Chain A
Amino acid sequence: MSAIYLLIPLTVLILIVAVVVFIWAVNHGQFNDLESQGRSILMEKKSVKDKNSASETEES
């Protein structure tokens, strides 16, 4: 049972990592718009046909 003396402090370390990651995420605006990202996986950019990509390269 003495394993808990190692494992439980370890959970605290993991907790600290989670907290740091969370704070980073909040500070970088990851929670500003929770809806768009979820929906964006539904939308897909179709591969554009050759003639279009040709005109696009002309532009750039």
Chain B
Amino acid sequence: MGKEKACYHCGLPVPPHVHITVSQDDTERAMCCEGCKAVFLLVHGQGLDDYYRFRETVPAIPQAISKEQLASFDTESFQQHYVTGNGTLKNVDLYVESMKCSACAWLIENFVRDKPGVLELTANTVNRQVKIRWDSERAALSEIVEHIEKLGYAVVPYETDTIIHQQQHERRDLLKRLGIAGLGMMQVMMYAVALYLGYADQWTDQHLTFIRWMSFFVATPIVIYSGWPIFHNAFSKIRHGQVTMDLPVAIALIIAYLGSLHALAFHTGDVYFDSVTMFLFFLLIGKYCELNARLKVSESMNVKKEHLPQTCLVERDQQWMSIPLSDVGIDEVVLVRKGDIIPVDGSILKGESSISAAIMTGESMPIAVKPFDKVIAGSVNLGETLQIRSEKAYQDNYYQRLLSLKDAAVAQKPRFMKIIENVAKRFIFLELFLAVVISLVWYFIDPSHVIPTVVAVLVVTCPCALSLAAPTAMTVATGMMTRYGLIMRKPHVMEALNAIDDVIFDKTGTLTTGEFRIAEVACLNESYNETQVLEIAAALEKHSDHPLAQPFHTINCQSQAEDVDTTHNAGIEGVYQGQRYFIGSANYIRSTLRQDELYDHTQEDKALKRVNLATESEIIATFELKDALRPQVKISIDKLQAMGKKVHVLTGDSEPNEELRHWIPVEQYQASQSPQDKVNYIKDLQKQQRKVLMIGDGLNDAPVLSMADVSIAMNEGSGLSKAAADAIFSGQNLQQFLQSFSLASHCFAKIRQNIFWAVGYNLTMVPLAVAGIVPPYLAALGMSLSSMVVLINALTIGRNNQKTIAKTTLAPA
């Protein structure tokens, strides 16, 4: 890997001024910040080091835990909404977004399970859900949640939208039908083996008839119960004049079943209960795979649960009353205290403050607001108490609109799947027609052959393998993609990734992490050293929520700052160990110190932000904060170029980043781009018939993202850009994302192979079945085997990639 040391915990490069190490089994491990160190010590202290060996994703940088947020887990309204259980035994479902691999789940389970009050805890990485059962007398929920958050995982209550809930229910139901069909199939097959062997033995007809009746008794409930979704689907659609793939299948099942029953009752011919159940079982496997693929997509769309408070303070009858948010109407006055989330879209009536709309718009810097300014629901009030007049009803606010944008994307199907479905549909008409002709022909040749031949033809021609070809490959590939950190929100992504010519990156927040880190510390007064100034700065910055204050929050300091006074969006003053200090922007320091001869900086790099620390008389230190490049940006760009893709960078910043400028051709690096410029740039490329992938994060990227052929939003990005994007990248390391290209092409190669195989199989078997050479059980076996081939072929997707993932996602040891 690179020359830079990477943090053993979070995998990000360690900034040059940081020298934190920990020892693990006599090996020195570098840490990038106190936050990572604290988590490591917790994990190590509990003997859970195996987490580092087996994890497949790197964790997010640990954030400071907010006491207020924790306390919200114990509030009345939270308990009412999310907690169930009687007496002191309570249950709750939580959503832990960054719990992405089994090692995370294992870590959480083992770390929290034996904490006081916790009775039962299960972590599920598929829907990132943690189920807790606890004794509310021995521990408050917030205490348990705190243990999880201490490990660096952010926790919110688990909420599902109705679509997911419905699909989960459907999956559970289908799984039961599938499992029972499987168990029954094995049983009936066993009887069938006895029947086939029976002829060679000295079994009497009585024995054989008994076994046949037994297979009838086992097969009947299975056909009715497990076959129900197929029959229901086939015949309910026919009423609406639609023909589905289930129709010939349902007819084949019914003919085979009734034919066997007839043969059994009148002692004529063979019974096909074994073929019926086996056929059913494999059909259900296909359905289950498809449902799983759909569920995975909707579950991954359940991404971040930003939530508004359940209740808010509203002025009614000249009193502040706490009422449910959904009851807040237009033109009501809402009170929002410091640190609260603004619950409504509206304008400020009273109060001046600064708010952070980062969650909604991606704008990381706080915005100063005064009366008559507009605010949107979901923003956080960072300063003084505000009174806000609501201007939109609950269901019309910006936040709800974002959610509905998100929901609209769930139901779509990829284009090639639609094509396959159309092909399969024509196939079905042909198949039904063929079956009728064959039964007539055979009726004149030999009536006893009509049933077996028709069943065989219906089964053999069933485009099951064809219909499985795409969904199975997609399920496997979607699962693998999630492991690379790419969450697909729209189904065409896989298809489109395969055809991309140009990759366009936004810079801030995409090629860079979007989080500030202290890149350089300059001490301007000899009586202070680096550690001292960092400590003073940390003590003061503790009192600020400003993004530029964040990197200081992880630094430990010995004592507290006193007499602190913050000026919003500018700076902080306070007394630390007997001395008064000021920290903030150059303007702030200039105005407070009333001194003009200040350390002057002529070369201002836009990627750098400078924070100044001063005493009452002089500036003692400056901190350069840098929005650092993500790890392995260079390798990723090189690789993309090696794959023959053109890499472009479009940025709103006026100064190009020094490092990037060396890696990317000048004409493909455009600085000072407005959102409109970016849209035009993409349009120009598309006019040249090039397929464009756009990767961005901010609110200003939303129009560009929807313009591109495929768009990917960064997970830290704004809600709106995520709603506009086709996929969301939640990993830290860009190289992981590169894997998705090879995965997409691999997936399509597999789909092509599968289709080729399925069509080839159907075409070769049809003549044999028509000629009556293939008995129904062989037809069912052949169909099942061809479906299995498709399934197994799909499961090999990403096999060769497995090792590369391990290499790229894990922090270098």
Contact = CB atoms under 8 A, between A and B. Distances in A.
A50 interface: no
B102 A40 contact: yes
Interface in A2-60: 4-5, 8-9, 11-12, 15, 18-19, 22-23, 26-27, 29, 31-33, 35-36, 38-40, 42-48, 52, 55-56, 59-60
B6 to A, nearest CB: 22
Given A43-B50, A48-B46, A36 B183 contact: no
A46 B214 CA distance: 54
A11 B125 contact: no
A45 B46 CA distance: 8
Interface in B203-227: 203-204, 207, 210-211, 214, 217-218
Nearest to A22: B179
Contact of A43 (B54, B115, B179): B54
Contacts of A32: 124, 126-127
Contact of A52 (B45, B102, B105, B106): B45
A23 B106 CA distance: 26
B352 interface: no
Interface string B227-240: 00000000000000
Interface string B40-66: 000001111111011000000000000
B175 interface: yes
Nearest to A38: B102
A45 B107 CA distance: 9
B135 to A, nearest CB: 13
A48 B183 contact: no
A38 B105 CA distance: 12
Contact of B175 (A26, A42, A47, A56): A26
B211 A22 contact: no
A43 B51 contact: yes
Interface stretch (B184-192, B422-430, B631-639): B184-192
Interface in B612-644: none
Contact of B106 (A8, A40, A59): A40
B180 interface: yes
B200 to A, nearest CB: 14
B103 interface: yes
A39 B54 contact: yes
Among B47, B124, B125, B210, the most chain A Cβ lie within 10 Å of the Cβ of B47
A37 B123 CA distance: 10
Contact of B180 (A22, A36, A52): A22
A22 B176 contact: yes
A41 to B, nearest CB: 10
Contact of B211 (A8, A33, A56, A60): A8
A52 B191 CA distance: 60
Contacts of B560: none
Interface in B11-40: none
A47 to B, nearest CB: 6
Contacts of A33: 105, 124-126
Given A4-B207, A26-B179, A42-B50, 18 more contacts: A5-B210, A12-B187, A12-B217, A19-B180, A19-B183, A23-B180, A29-B124, A32-B124, A35-B126, A38-B102, A39-B54, A40-B106, A46-B48, A48-B45, A48-B47, A52-B45, A52-B46, A56-B46
